[in-house]
Structure 1
């Protein structure tokens, strides 16, 4: 937990500037940054010629999604799913992601186990299960399945709740279990068997009730939403984070700015689902829905970026497709500058996660989660898309990879 990095090129994502010098970690935090630092009896690492930046943040993951057939998770052993999640998170850490926000599926058990060092992986912020209406994106039942089984002992990504009283109780239950945010399905999706992507889900009263419960607990709501209609009504009702947003419009941009909300695009998952989703369990009916959002994602990102929306890095990958996590950097670079993309995975992500000053920065006092890379990410963000070339991943002041 104590470490001294010497001769580093220190990259501050907020200013977009480099400084030459040393960085000292103490008790898992960044203690000081500057030239010529000394620290007797502290291990030193000379990183001359390399760039040091904050550890990366992925704000939309599903660490328990061991398959793209999400409906099958509820019949899997929770122990089996947890074992897969531990391996998935370990590999995320090797890719430079030192903090991730789970967008449904993970719970306090995984978060506590990681924090206690029972397995290696990024810091985990969880929401428990996503709230879904009957027949919504979080309802994994096929048309012929009548029995709803949301038993807490079973693995799964969603829980079905209908009506204002029921959604309040569901939100309170997830908050009771320590949720850092509440996830709600506000539109149809790709991996759900009985809804349409262009549908809106939950009534205004239900969404408003969920937002009220989150705000009462000093938490916030993240909403799965694709179409402009779904995105806009969610923003108007107080949702703070829109996930995906592939079909947003100009009014959406205005609402993001008006409500100081965040957009978390997830371009890489559609690219991966189209290329190999069926190989990893995505049902044929869901695979055919991918095209409805695939082409629009980059255009939506471009519209939002030009409009000044706060953008955060997310991937939403499933099963064996998790290995493409860093490819999102290359996809976003098609319409954003390297610095903008970097901020989405560091400082802006920290703002969304309510961890400003704690992660996504090299400032003294922040967690000593660091990434040491060859090359200049501001000249070519593709440097962050090749984790096999990273020199070191540092978590809590300890070298954990490389």
Structure 2
């Protein structure tokens, strides 16, 4: 996008300091050019904001844009073109909710990322990992007990790929990196939506996990690990995993390890709320629905423990199928534990740090991508403002108003 835009009389939020600057903001060629007072730009679209609040475009660091249903095991049997059509619609709606960058936590590939970047469909910037790596019978293995053939052929839709043994996981990680993965996703514990594992299991040996981390680090990338229990989380952190997804059952040692290893936690509270409320009507199998309670209540306590301990927290939603529409409700859930500024940071500046895009997104500083959200009420007074995207005044991407 080559948007030129001038926002006048705005309150511009710096998420790092938590302070507003009153004045104008000018964008050109898709970037923020300057902040000041009395700015002019003859060729720019000009909007008089009259004191409205401007935030950096929001970041959701745990999405599954290809998850057109909560029955993840059915995806490999779906037509890839059908899943792509669903993904384009899902991403378009994410943009309307203010999310201008998303990190896909398995399922999306370079094709979707390239198509969005080329403007073939509207949606947030997409950082992908390709397929998540899973051991046989792990959280990324969607086969039921009676299925004996592999369903993770690369031509099929799906979220995971099965690889067992150090040599195999090295090859799988290298293959995803070959295809342009921004990070490697690994299943390091059991999960809700998988048919044959226990949530409290640890998955992959230490040697396998370390090999995956080595491959990511060799390519100047990092590993994100699905993990629930303290045992699984702590093990992953000690082996060099940079980003823990979910972490509902962490303990005090987990907090120490996050700080020691400069790692990030990406809670996804809204997905458990949504799965419990309406997961079955969106395709979640009964056996998976019964597993939700094991992590639902613990998520808020884990968030509180991590926030109190100073862990770097990043916004994530992890919603599936028709439940994607609840993406912004995570702001309300986190607001029950964290301050509004802390929640906003998790979806802006801290998220940018995790994604290795510091200074590029999550900030209103000159030089950053001109991705913005404009709201009429102060989100520092009530972060619930960000849970109501239908009331946003504008969403701006690349200096172009894309939703108003």
Say yes or no: TM over 0.5: yes
TM-score, normalising length from structure 1? 1.00
Q: 1:200 aligned to 2:202?
A: yes
1:297-353 CA-to-partner distances (Å, cap 9, x unmatched) read: 000000000000000000000000000000000000111000000000000000000
Write the mapping of 1:277-288 to structure 2, written as runs, cut at 5 A: 277-288=279-290
Take 1:48 and 1:245, find their aligned partners in 2: how far apart are those partners? 42
2:61 matched to which residue of 1?
59
Per-residue deviation, 1:36: 1.0
Give the secondary structure class of the aligned counterpart of 1:245: strand
Per-residue deviation, 1:384: 0.2
Q: 1:48 aligned to 2:54?
A: no
Verify the 8 A CA contact 2:372 2:397 in the aligned structure 1.
Answer: yes
1:346 matched to which residue of 2?
348
Give the secondary structure class of the aligned counterpart of 1:292: helix
Write the mapping of 1:148-163 to structure 2, written as runs, cut at 5 A: 148-163=150-165
1:197-255 CA-to-partner distances (Å, cap 9, x unmatched) read: 00000000000000000000000000000000000000000000000000000000000
Per-residue deviation, 1:149: 2.5
Per-residue deviation, 1:39: 1.1
2:185 matched to which residue of 1?
183
Per-residue deviation, 1:389: 0.2
2:131 matched to which residue of 1?
129
Per-residue deviation, 1:42: 1.7
1:5 matched to which residue of 2?
7
2:328 matched to which residue of 1?
326
Equivalent residue in structure 2 for 1:244, among 243, 246, 251: 246
Take 2:400 and 2:238, find their aligned partners in 1: how far apart are those partners? 43
Verify the 8 A CA contact 2:59 2:351 in the aligned structure 1.
Answer: yes
2:93 matched to which residue of 1?
91
Per-residue deviation, 1:41: 2.4
1:38-64 CA-to-partner distances (Å, cap 9, x unmatched) read: 112221111113101100000000000
Aligned residues: 402
TM-score, normalising length from structure 2? 0.99
1:39 matched to which residue of 2?
41
Give the secondary structure class of the aligned counterpart of 1:140: coil
Q: Which sections of structure 2, spanning at least 5 residues, go unmatched?
A: none
Give the secondary structure class of the aligned counterpart of 1:354: coil
1:255 matched to which residue of 2?
257
Take 1:43 and 1:146, find their aligned partners in 2: how far apart are those partners? 59
Take 2:220 and 2:48, find their aligned partners in 1: how far apart are those partners? 42
Q: Which sections of structure 1, spanning at least 5 residues, go unmatched?
A: none
1:369-392 CA-to-partner distances (Å, cap 9, x unmatched) read: 000011000000000000000000
Take 2:150 and 2:289, find their aligned partners in 1: how far apart are those partners? 24
Equivalent residue in structure 1 for 2:266, among 245, 264, 267: 264
| Runs of 4+ in structure 1 over 2 Å off | none
Take 1:298 and 1:21, find their aligned partners in 2: how far apart are those partners? 38
1:119 matched to which residue of 2?
121
Take 2:389 and 2:180, find their aligned partners in 1: how far apart are those partners? 32
Take 1:41 and 1:236, find their aligned partners in 2: how far apart are those partners? 53
Please give the root-mean-square deviation of Cα atoms over the aligned residues, in Å: 0.4
Decide which moves more: 146-155 or 68-77.
Answer: 146-155
